[in-house]
Amino acid sequence: MSRLPRRILEKIPFPMPCLWLVMLVFGLLLGACSPILPPQVDEATPQTTRTRAVLPTLIPTAAPQPEQTATPDALDDLRGLEIRLLHPWTGSLAAALENAVRDFNQGNEWGIRVRAESSGSSMVLAQRMENSPSAEPIADLIIAPSENLLFWHAHGNRIRPLNDFLLDPRWGLSEARRADYPLAFWQQDQAEGQQLGIPALRTARVFFYNLSWASELGFSRPPETLDEFRQHACTAARANNTDRTGSNDGTGGWMVDTDGWTIYAWLKSFGLNNPLLGEPVRLSFNHPQTLQAGEFLRGMVDEGCAFFGRIPPEEAFATRRALYFSASLLDIPVLTATLQRLGSQDVWMALPFPVSDRPVVVVGGLSYGILRSQPERELAAWLFIRWMTQPEVQAALLQSGGGLPLGAASANLAQEDMRQKYPAWGTALQWIPIAQPLPVSGEWRFARFILEDAFWQALQYYVPPEQIPAVLNQIDPTLREVVERHTGQARP
């Protein structure tokens, strides 16, 4: 076994006796699993464009019929039933969810009552999930990162597949409603022919780019390729190093961000195809693109075109200490407020990750999942999820929490308000047709932190460049060791 880096040991708590793994931080999927329910498309026929700010039309094809699971037919089984929803949201998003719960409780025809509870974070939710006996579920339904649903299904069989509910003629989700979800969103909750979740929130990792400052530096358009990305960053760094303000020396380009989601998007920019390999399928980052990305980013750091910041990235961006920084679309409200607070009048925009042929947009997020219990409780949980898929409900959550719309219908309802409050948000709509999912694997919940740690080390000045391959070569062995420790079994 490999020796786990100290930073990984600090981030990934290992199981205590008789306890499951303590979950890691919320993360917002490669399409290794073929879609098993509509929406489905043939790979050669997606109806998308790069320029239109609309969602793709997904053409359903014949889907294999799922194995039917018994559901209660009598309304008496549901009448007055109270179920529990556990979610990680706080603030305005939690308030919007509470409003949706209230409306469902007051209006559903079965008299079902949902009692929502916030855990405060995805990490705390997972701690409660994994520290509780499987015979005593913490809730009837949860909102959790897709990779967590996949992991809890594979290890413990605690997530109830939704195939029969989705296609049930009485309780199911209509074909039009299913087809409204972008395929990349839908596939993130699939494993071994089972649909384990329904998207609740999706976002993407992007760059925020200062158009006003870039124009003053002589650039007439944003960077589209890796070379242009480096050129813009280096020019901004030179400008800060040669001006009359000493406090901004050593800044100006890209503010380094080694979040695992960011690193995965960089790997895709360098051409990484499918990191899910082997039988059984495992995540692997032992690919040439991993080293290429590491050497490219380290080169930017060594040239002074990328820097490790000491202040929040939004403040660095607002004060022209960073031409761009990488973050989630969910951070747009924070960035907007920071710019206003610091009096910046600069025009800015969101950018996808650069690549030579087409931009890279990696999406992920949270989904609704049902915990196994009794048939009537599972059905009641499903009926609430089905109600939450209504475009009006989705639009209200989008306006409160941000991110990407879950379908064209909700986008149409929310976009006027979202564009008015956050002009940069509208740009992201055109990327949905080309969006790629995070790895569709429960192992991603660990891999994202191992990627973060490996690249953080590789970008440090005290690590000789010739040692970068050795650092990155430890990603796969470390991932194997972490997975084995958390599942309590060694794999061949």
| Percentage of the chain lying above the pLDDT 90 cut | 77
d(CA 393, CA 397): 6
Predicted confidence (pLDDT) per residue in 77-103, tens digit: 898 899 999 999 999 999 999 999 999
Express each pLDDT in 468-486 by its tens digit.
999 999 999 999 999 999 8
Dist. CA 486–CA 60, nearest whole Å: 38
Q: What is the spatial distance between Cα 88 and Cα 220, in angstroms, rounded to a whole number?
A: 42
Tokens of 389: 């898929």
How many other CB atoms are found less than 10 A from the CB of residue 273?
10
Residue 369 dihedral angles phi and psi, to the nearest 5°: -135, 150
- How far is CA 21 from its chain centroid? 21
**Percentage of the residues of the chain whose pLDDT score is greater than 70:** 83
- Which domains are seen in the chain, by residue range? 6-37+76-203+363-425 (3.40.190.10), 205-360+441-486 (3.40.190.10)
Distances (CA, A) of 358 to 144, 202, 218, 222: 31, 21, 24, 14
Question: How far is Cα 151 from Cα 142, in angstroms, rounded to an integer?
Answer: 14
Task: Inform me whether the pLDDT recorded for 61 exceeds 80.
Answer: no
Model confidence pTM above 0.75 = yes
Whether 390 shows a pLDDT value over 50: the answer reads yes
Q: What pLDDT digit, counting tens, does each position of 397-413 carry?
A: 999 999 999 999 999 99
In the prediction, which pLDDT does 132 show? 82
Query: In which band, very low, low, confident or very high, does the pLDDT at 278 lie, cut at 50, 70 and 90?
Result: confident
